Amino acid sequence: MDPITVLLDEVLEDIRPLRDGAPAGYIPELAAADPEHLALAVVGPRGRVRAVGDIGHEFTIQSISKPFVLALALADRGRDAVLRKVGAEPSGEPFNAISLEPGTGRPANPMVNAGAIATSALIPGDGVDDRTSRIAAGLSAFAGRSLWVDEQVYESESATGDRNRALAHLLRSHGILEGSVDVAVETYFRQCSLLVTVRDLAVMSATLAFGGVNPVTGERVVEEVVARDVLSIMTSCGMYDFSGEWLLRVGLPAKSGVSGGLLAVAPSQFGVAAFSPRLDVHGNSVRGIAVLETLAERFGMHTLEPHDSVAIPAFTVEDTDDGRVLRLAGELGLAGTERVVAVLRELAESLPQGAEVTVDARDLGRTHSAALVALRAEFEQMPHGIRLRE
């Protein structure tokens, strides 16, 4: 494994002994999930996917679909039209609470169930199948591969979804939901039943991190302003009534799902996702939160930490009698090591026999500890003739 993957694996193994929480019990198919599954994936700016743990295991996306369906609605309708139907304020209440604005009947935000149902209803389409196809196509573009519905989970959700139907009828009574309640709710159940892996979630997260461009496929999925608006709402509302403490501890826009998935976005740096089915009282993955909190501490991910840039350093290349010098300046974060290593390999390949490449890191204003560990480890695997000056 490459050095960064080794670091991710160490984090995962540190968290593995945690056994608190239990799989979601109110949806029979989710209650039967193996609680021992655990996975982690990170996608950087060049589209490289690093994943550890049960990376091939598929699970349903559940509420992690909400920010991406919001992105589709914003792209199709525009911000003002969406805000007429759903608010953008944290509710401070559980995900299935009745959080409707007095007077207007708007749900508090698109991340709670009432708001997500209202948002899904904004996606155009004739009937459940047509709307589901549009949503699946949109989320597949975020993931970089085709996603499809787990029919067993969908049937289980539909059979136990009376509270969501009640929320939809309330929305209809306020004029927030137009058209058939059944179509709106069944579409919502089907979007939540799309199958993903932890890799898919990390790619979806990275697409938001890089302004709506999928770094794996190179496809622009949504415009930058749409990605920015989605991340803004995720920051304050993505973790339900744990959102404030999450922002304090981890400091990244995030979204969780009751199947055990959790993704977070480091804007302009990388997308990250974890999976573990045991949930806490808020409906968030216990080990997923622990993994992301550990990553935030070790890798300096908190968005409110002082940053000189997006943690990708500026650099210049100078020719010398002995070879070339790569001078780094600014800030070096974990995502920046990937860019530095790529430049180094290009320089090393172009040098004549016996010449050297020196990396001068003395002008770096700030270096994240994990980035320095990863960079040193990368040096050990590089050809002879490359040295680091700190």
Q: Is 50 helix (H, G, I), strand (E, B) or coil?
A: strand
178 is in an annotated binding site: no
58 is in an annotated binding site: no
Catalytic residue among 69, 154, 188, 272: 188
Catalytic residue among 154, 216, 222, 240: 240
The C-alpha torsion from 259 through 265 and 270 to 272, rounded to 10°, is -20
113 is in an annotated binding site: yes
Cα–Cα distance measured from residue 378 to residue 380, given in angstroms and rounded to the nearest whole number:
5
11 is in an annotated binding site: no
Residue partners of 83: CB distance under 8 A and separation at least 6: none
Residue 154 a catalytic site member: no
Residue 188 a catalytic site member: yes
Catalytic residue among 42, 63, 221, 256: 63
- Give the phi and the psi of residue 303 in degrees, each rounded to 5: -70, -20
Q: Which two tokens mark 235? A: 């920051």
Catalytic residue among 42, 66, 128, 286: 66
181 is in an annotated binding site: no
Residue 66 a catalytic site member: yes
Residue partners of 348: CB distance under 8 A and separation at least 6: 357, 382, 383, 385, 386
- Give the phi and the psi of residue 199 in degrees, each rounded to 5: -65, -45
Catalytic residue among 181, 203, 230, 258: 258
Cα–Cα distance measured from residue 264 to residue 302, given in angstroms and rounded to the nearest whole number:
11
240 is in an annotated binding site: yes
| Residue owning tokens 């209440």 | 93
284 is in an annotated binding site: no
Beta bridge partners of 43: 49, 271
* Residue 171 near residue 114 (C-beta atoms within 8 A): yes
* Binding-site sequence positions for substrate: 63, 113, 157, 164, 188, 240, 258
Residues marked as catalytic: 63, 66, 188, 240, 258
* Binding-site sequence positions: 63, 113, 157, 164, 188, 240, 258
